[in-house]
Amino acid sequence: MIRKPKAGGPEASRKPKAAVKRAARVASPTPVGERATPPKRAAAPGRLTAADIEEIFRRFQAKNPQPKGELEHVNPFTLLVAVVLSAQATDAGVNKATRGLFAVADTPEKMVALGEAKVRDFIKTIGLFNTKAKNVIALSQQLIAEHGGAVPATREALETLPGVGRKTANVVLNIAYGQETMAVDTHIFRVGNRTGLAPGKTPLEVEARLEAVVPKPYRLHAHHWLILHGRYTCTALRPRCPLCPIADLCRWPEKTASVPPP
């Protein structure tokens, strides 16, 4: 005997699958046969145009036509040593330590004669001074043995020296030899990404992007302008956006509306 479902019973509320699907299609705003489009994500800040980039560096140049590095030096050798010592240290701190050091040892030969212990005494106020003293003596010895005491003018040769990486080599090539290099430090890395000028996940990516987009007339001084901008205006924690000369061109969505306290 076949039992009929009771009126109002649970079976009566069940609908055939086809009917459920038809009801869902009627209720849905998406046309039949089309997939629902997921909500769009917020668009990323737009990239700077070539005209924007040209204007950024035009303004930097107008404000500071001949930017200089802040590390004190008297020749390519002392520049090289100063940049090696500046890793994880401030330029002001390095300058304070090297004034006495360079007064007695401004060549590789004099530095080797001075010896590691005395070099360490001069730079003991700088972070990692033990390792840095060893590197200064070792690179001085290598310069004497392989380059006749001269600082080489190629990145490849510089990067073989103890304590010298790509950034250090680029600084020396730019300042000592007038080469159009981009020495990407923490300031340039931040400015390149924050402004949209040279976005990249690594310093090398930011360097490559800068080399591709910085107009030729500005390349020699570009890294100095960007370092100074990051050091004094586009700072890490409290950027001074209202005082920024390129604020209207910057693509950073979190620009501040007021000048932070010192």
Active site residues per annotation: 167, 185
The answer on whether 234 is annotated among ligand-binding residues is yes
Q: Which of 135, 149, 185 is nearest to 77 (CA)?
A: 149
* Helices 116-123 & 91-104 angle (0-180, nearest 10): 140
Joined together, the tokens standing for residue 106 give: 């401004």
* Helices 116-123 & 129-147 angle (0-180, nearest 10): 130
The answer on whether 195 is annotated among ligand-binding residues is no
- 73 close to 79: Cβ distance less than 8 angstroms: yes
238 DSSP assignment: S
The answer on whether 39 is annotated among ligand-binding residues is no
**Three-state secondary structure call for residue 14:** coil
The answer on whether 207 is annotated among ligand-binding residues is no
Backbone angles phi, psi at 248, to 5 degrees: -70, -20
Joined together, the tokens standing for residue 246 give: 């390129």
Q: Which residues are annotated as a binding site for [4Fe-4S] cluster?
A: 234, 241, 244, 250
Q: Which residues are annotated as a binding site?
A: 234, 241, 244, 250
